[in-house]
Amino acid sequence: MDSTKDKASTECPVSQKTTSPSSESCPVDHSARSIWMKPENASRLSAPTANPSTSEESLGKVRDVSSIPRAEAFTGSSNWVYPSEEMFFNAMKRKHWNPQTQDMKTVVPIHNAVNERAWMEILKWEASTGANSCGGPKLVSFSGDSSKLSPRARINMLFGYQRPFDRHDWVVDRCGKRIEYVIDFYAGKQNPEYPSIPSFYLDVRPKLTPEGAWMRFQKFVGLT
């Protein structure tokens, strides 16, 4: 698949809060990315700096094509395309973080894997909705705000559970109908056999719109 067919329209989902049409921002907020790093690397991304350091190390320019289909309203590649290491690095610099080139080989694959996992969870919700009759669900857009807590996250925190490190709202096209999903991202429990590999838990569910409430009810009573 040609991942460069239409760069302006095939980039990994761009936040609706982004003002620049050429921004390479992607579904997980920059302020949450330190969670993805190994413990020894996380400290380098834990605070913003006005003068990001640079390195002579080369950054990859290849962009991976995701498994996430684009809504028909868009042109170009049929799937969203993730940023390259270079694009990711430059995006973090624009956000006044202090990225390290050697970290991009770790951060970018994790970023992509987290998005793939989020989409797979959405597909589970969509499996019994009849979306496959029109080619399957497609991602229209997303917005993210790690400082904005969902109602469920607030309730969970009252019972002593951890705060999610990020929150996103994805809009999915289901046969011409827009369905909204909310995603809370949590740091998961580390596998003692692989302590350096980040672990995540994604709480993905339809937003509490009339359609979303009906979908949740059906799942709760075992109809889906």
Residuewise pLDDT in 10s, the chain (224 residues): 333 334 333 455 433 333 333 333 454 554 554 454 443 344 344 344 444 444 546 899 999 999 999 986 555 558 999 999 999 999 888 888 888 898 899 889 998 999 999 999 999 999 999 999 998 999 999 888 888 999 999 999 999 999 999 999 999 999 999 999 999 999 888 778 777 777 889 999 999 999 999 999 999 999 87
- Name the CA radius of gyration of the chain, rounded: 18
Contact 206, 150 (CB under 8 A): no
Name the 3-class secondary structure at 114.
Answer: helix
Q: Cβ contacts of residue 3 below 8 Å, gap of 6+?
A: 10, 63, 64, 65, 77, 81
Backbone dihedral angles phi then psi of residue 178, each to the nearest 5 degrees: -85, 125
In this structure, what DSSP letter does residue 189 have? P
Give per-residue pLDDT as tens, 92-122.
888 888 888 988 998 899 989 999 999 999 9
- Provide the residue ranges of all domains of the chain, joining segments of one domain with +: 7-220
Phi first, then psi, for residue 180 (nearest 5°) are -100, 135
pTM: 0.74
pLDDT of residue 4: 36
pLDDT in tens, 153-170: 999 999 999 999 999 999
Using CA atoms, how far apart are residues 79 and 138, in angstroms rounded to an integer?
Answer: 9
